[in-house]
Chain A
């Protein structure tokens, strides 16, 4: 069990946006968080990364409250939005910076990036542009790759498929499947039911901050979800 959430609550302007009684994520699981806009997925991620303070309850990562110590940062990599990128750097500079935070040298970073050449589709490296001048999809690629480069035990991605071109979506999906291992726990939020059910072993369905459904995927999952969302 890597993540344990107890009685977690976040209230904005009188409206409860996250309200989770009890939720545990096991080591090695790939979990998809789905739900319509306002379901509280991003807020949950932000609390998990200690970016916002819960109004009540706690999130334990490997048994330690994320709000109390920075221990989780060592094994957690995340990409939520462009706010995670340093947009006045070139992608290379950004990767090297992120690498340096995890004691990776320049050559190590470059070696790692070489394995992502296909994913980048020749659109990221050596383009002579700052990150702010890239399209949203390519910015996403930079953010996701930077997260993967940290070789985390816990990977948190908020809507990784959004803004990506179809080829890259398929490549990312395949790659996430390939990365699956007992040592990597992945949390993905997405609006694309197809992709989530394809990649994830477990689906957690949110509505207005509450967990509505929590189940392991099988061949009927997609139909069930489609039925739920078309109500």
Chain B
């Protein structure tokens, strides 16, 4: 039975609709995984030397013991992010003559097939064999192996269990996040250290190996919990989303923009209520930390704004770039209705301008925390923001009239390449390059002249917006049939 399930999943993967992109993504993921496994092997075998090299004078065992729980704490958080619930795959089997037990077992075993479960074994096991064994004896070494293996199991089923109950009731996330923040805060303030705790636990096991049995008990407990939960909740609706009541909302602040405001409100709902656009926009918030990689003190002191332009334009305009690149594709599902209804295309473009403009302003406001590094960064961000609102929006929307790819907005955003085409790849080039072209010659006069230069096309674009809207509407009308046809092909 289990092999049949796996076989079905395998064929399902090969016959999936946008096979090309999925396979490309899987191959890249696969290469990445192989690379990581290689690195882990290396790390595993030279761990002793590494510890010696990076923490000279420290007791190797102390560092190793401290690493273990630290690793698994981070591992748990990463799992919550990337581990998928292998539940939807079983819906076509629920009504068939297959015992529930078998389905549940399939879910258990299927979840183990993941690279994440292999990494810690490769990293920690060699050290146990080479160092723990000779130092503390075989029994202790065996207990270390058992403990680490149990921690892998604990994290695997623990993360899945947490994801399952949080899918049903989002409220459990709040105490979890608070707990996480508390531990991280204590760690930061050096009141409580995971490493020290981990060291104490494993040093104890090294001396009293029998205590290591605590870990498999813990793993079994979470496994049993997960198992019971699955057995009791093996119903389609309970495996997927919570049955929470959806309510109608409106955004009165957009009302004063008339029809364009209504369309903008519609798009806000699209972003909030659908998985992929939601994830895409949330991703933009993480990218706000991008600046820390670029904004070095020497650049700021010597006014080298040219090197700060890229992160500035990218951070203040990341919704314009990342969300905007798939523009109209987000509405692919209801595009026919949009065209057939009395929606003015001019209003449609105005709505996009409002939405992208507001998002750029919000992101600029959010990135103002870089002002703590230097007020100069705020000047760069302001220039970038004006440029984005005036110029990037037009470029992005122009490319939108050349995008014919349907997007299924109910799918996740991670490794999802649906909707990516040549035009979506190309559009970031002019957006990110043109500020440099303006800045470089002007910066010969003075760096602030360069910044002012960037705002000129931005302000010009804003002042001539109605011309650009008209231009976009004409471009759109030329190709609207092709766009609508492309969206009707749900590949």
Interface of B is mostly: helix
Residue among B274, B340, B488 making CB contact with A88, cutoff 8 Å:
B274
Decide if B259 touches A87 in the complex (CB within 8 Å).
no
A100:B262 contact, CB within 8 angstroms: yes
Q: Which residues in B have their C-beta under 8 angstroms from that of A78? A: 340
Asked if residues A88 and B273 are in contact (CB atoms below 8 Å), the reply is yes
Establish whether residues B337 and A90, one from each chain, have CB atoms under 8 Å apart when the complex forms: no
0/1 string, B330-368, CB within 8 A of A gives 1 = 000111110111111000000000000000000000000
Residue of B nearest to A92 (CB): B248
Whether A83 contacts B488 by the Cβ 8 Å rule is yes
Chain B residues within an 8 Å CB radius of A87 = 333-334
In angstroms, Cα B404 to Cα A52, docked, is 14
Residue on B nearest A75 in the bound complex, by CB: B342
Instruction: Quote the shortest CB–CB distance from B367 to chain A (angstroms).
Output: 29
Complexed CA–CA distance, A98 and B250 (Å)? 14
Q: A51, B481: Cβ atoms under 8 Å?
A: yes
| In the complex, B256 has a CB within 8 A of chain A | no
Q: Are A84 and B269 in contact (CB under 8 A)?
A: no
Q: In this complex, what residue of B is CB-closest to A101? A: B342
- B246 at the A interface (CB under 8 A): yes
Cβ of A18 to closest chain B Cβ, rounded Å = 15
A143 closest partner in B (C-beta): B337
B485 at the interface (CB under 8 A from A): yes
Return the contact of A83 from the options B248, B335, B485 (Cβ within 8 A): B335
**Interchain nearest-CB distance for B309 vs A (Å):** 37
* B269 lies within 8 A of A101 (CB): no
Known contacts: A73-B342, A83-B336, A85-B337. The answer to whether A52 contacts B246 by CB under 8 A is no
Binary interface encoding of chain A residues 74-94 relative to chain B, with 1 for a CB under 8 A from any of its CBs, else 0: 101010111111111110110
A52 & B481 in contact (Cβ 8 Å cutoff): yes
| Contact A74 B342, beta carbon cutoff 8 Å | yes
Q: Is A49 an interface residue (CB 8 A)?
A: yes
Partner of A50, one of B247, B270, B339: B339
- Chain B positions 463 through 490: 1 when the CB is less than 8 Å from some CB of chain A, otherwise 0: 0000000000000000001001100100
CA distance A70 to B485 in the complex (A): 19
Tell me, yes or no, whether A130 is within 8 Å of chain B by CB. yes
* B246 x A86 contact (CB < 8 A): no
| Nearest Cβ on chain B to A110's Cβ, whole angstroms | 11
Give chain B's interface residue range (CB within 8 Å of chain A): 20 to 34
User: Does residue B171 face the partner (Cβ distance < 8 Å to A)?
Assistant: no
Residues of B within 8 A of A150 (CB): 342
Q: Which of A50, A52, A86, A102 contacts B485 (CB 8 A)?
A: A52
Q: Are B270 and A88 in contact, with the CB atoms below 8 A?
A: yes
Q: Is the CB of A86 within 8 A of B342?
A: no
**In whole Å, how far is A43's beta carbon from the nearest beta carbon of chain B?**
12
Q: Once the chains are docked, how many angstroms separate the CA of A51 from the CA of B247?
A: 32
Chain A residue with Cβ nearest B244: A128
A120 interface residue (CB < 8 Å to B): no
A213 at the interface (CB under 8 A from B): no
- Asked whether B339 lies within 8 Å of A51 as measured between CB atoms, the reply is yes
Among A125-141, those with CB < 8 Å from B are: 128-130, 132-133
Whole-angstrom distance between the Cβ of B13 and the nearest chain A Cβ: 25
Knowing A51-B336, A83-B334, A83-B335, say if A90 contacts B247 (CB, 8 Å): yes
Q: Determine if A52 and B248 form an interchain contact, defined as CB atoms under 8 angstroms apart.
A: no
Check if A195 is an interface residue, CB within 8 A of chain B. Answer: no
| Complex alpha-carbon distance, A191 and B277, angstroms | 38
Does B437 sit within 8 A of A, measured CB to CB? no
Chain A residues within an 8 Å CB radius of B333: 82-83, 87
A150–B246 CA distance with the chains assembled, in angstroms: 26
For the complex, give the distance between the alpha carbons of A70 and B345 in Å. 10
Q: With A88-B270, A88-B274 as known contacts, state yes or no: A83 contacts B246, CB within 8 Å.
A: no
Contacts of B339 in A (CB 8 A): 49-51
8 Å CB contact of B484 from A51, A70, A89, A92: A51
* Complex contacts, B485 vs chain A, CB 8 Å: 52
Q: List 25 A-B contacts (CB under 8 A).
A: A46-B336, A50-B481, A51-B339, A51-B484, A52-B484, A70-B344, A80-B340, A81-B336, A83-B334, A84-B334, A84-B341, A85-B337, A86-B266, A87-B333, A87-B334, A88-B269, A88-B273, A90-B246, A96-B248, A97-B262, A100-B259, A101-B259, A128-B245, A132-B410, A150-B342
Please name 6 further chain A to chain B contacts, defined as beta carbons within 8 Å, in addition to the given A49-B340, A88-B274, sorted by A numbering.
A51-B340, A81-B336, A84-B340, A90-B248, A93-B250, A100-B259
B residues lining the A interface (CB < 8 Å): 245-250, 259, 262, 266, 269-270, 273-274, 333-337, 339-344, 409-410, 481, 484-485, 488
6 interchain residue pairs of minimum CB distance: A84-B337, A128-B245, A83-B336, A88-B273, A73-B342, A49-B340
